[in-house]
Amino acid sequence: MTRVHAYAAPDATTPLQAHVIERRDLKPTDIQIEILYSGVCHSDVHQARSEWGPAIYPLVPGHEIVGRVSAVGGQVSRFKVGDLAGVGCMVDSCQHCDSCAEGLEQYCENGATWTYNSRERDTRLPTHGGYSTAIVVTEGFAVHVPESLDIRAVAPLLCAGITMFSPLNHWKIGKGHKVAIVGLGGLGHMGIKLAVAMGADVTLFTTSQGKADDALRLGAHHVVLSTDRAAMKAARGRFDFIISTVPSGHDLNPYLMTLRRDGQLVIVGALEPVGLSGLPLVGQRRSVAGSNIGGIAETQQMLDFCAEHGIVPEVEMIRMQDINEAYERMLNNDVKYRFVIDMAAYRAEQEQASD
């Protein structure tokens, strides 16, 4: 076992604090990654505070990880020391169910092993995430990060990016499609960038007129204020595809009415949408669906697509020591649009302190 520096939540109410964790010795198909950057996701807060069910403490969050491979097991074939690698929301799955066989490990029928707040399949030891200086993961659950991308901004692609790319890719969105994104945040701003790069005509739905200029700067072609009844009425029957990124319960019916016949509204945000009526669905054969992250192959596809089109999230860099303040700012929507922790700086500080 290797001891590495990290930041952990000791319980549901105590702020995150410096901690030392142990990473397993390399198995034959494992790689060790020296973490350079770790993205901060809204779900980190929920899990650190045990808001999505009982958490495993001490809990080291972080499932948007970018770093350099520092060691490889004897049977590793896809990575070599020095490669730029990423780890997203999963670090393992059963590998034999129908979903895994189709490259959809995120829907593993026996339960995926998540990057943190989960348990390793063989040892049952807790998994720990990217708020740490190193991670060990089987090579099959790491992805190659294109060197052409700004690596300081890549990490959120491994959650926010793939969360938006996966439904756009699954429903084959492209040139000629009219797409709407509900909400301009960490997810929504990535949805705009990706859908525009795919060739779609893209609209942002927002409750804040102040976000209109930013949406247009990010590439959106139109902005509709969802609190404006006249604007919503004018948008009826306009869209082929809508992705809702709103993290809280909200009325879906007004958005459903803006879909064309056979249109899709996909939920990636709120887990408890409200106000769903059957009339807007059956009247025009519209559908409501949900989508999770992508599998490993699709995550690699997303990264390669982003490299081809020069897409990275809008990020604000922070120190590891500022994570608790970042959590509060994120809950107050005070970030454009994702925080990224500079783990290399944190590692240097720890090494200097130990000298």
Of 136, 188, 110, 102, whose CA–CA distance to 26 is shortest?
136
Residue 48 DSSP class: H
Residue 65 DSSP class: E
State the helix-helix crossing angle for 296-309 and 160-170, rounded to 10 degrees.
100
State CA 6 to chain mean position distance. 21
Of 295, 354, 318, whose CA–CA distance to 140 is shortest?
295
Q: What is the pLDDT of residue 158?
A: 98
- Enumerate residues 6+ apart whose C-beta is below 8 A from 328: none
Cα 303 to Cα 337: distance, rounded to the nearest angstrom: 19
Kind of pairing, strands 201-206 and 222-225? parallel
Q: What is the pLDDT of residue 271?
A: 67
pLDDT by residue (tens digit) across 147-205?
A: 999 999 999 999 999 999 999 999 999 999 999 999 999 999 999 999 999 999 999 99
For residue 98, with 0-12 CB atoms within 10 Å meaning exposed, 13-18 middle and 19 or more buried, which class applies?
Answer: exposed
Under-70 pLDDT residues of the chain: 270-271, 273-274, 355
For 56-177, strand residue ranges (E) read 65-72, 84-87, 90-92, 113-114, 134-138, 143-144
Of 162, 171, 160, 169, whose CA–CA distance to 265 is shortest?
171
Of 243, 221, 225, whose CA–CA distance to 234 is shortest?
225
Cα 335 to Cα 318: distance, rounded to the nearest angstrom: 11
Cα 96 to Cα 343: distance, rounded to the nearest angstrom: 35
Cα 352 to Cα 355: distance, rounded to the nearest angstrom: 5
- Enumerate residues 6+ apart whose C-beta is below 8 A from 276: 252, 253, 288
Cα 240 to Cα 66: distance, rounded to the nearest angstrom: 35
For residue 225, with 0-12 CB atoms within 10 Å meaning exposed, 13-18 middle and 19 or more buried, which class applies?
Answer: middle
Cα 219 to Cα 192: distance, rounded to the nearest angstrom: 7
Q: What is the pLDDT of residue 340?
A: 98
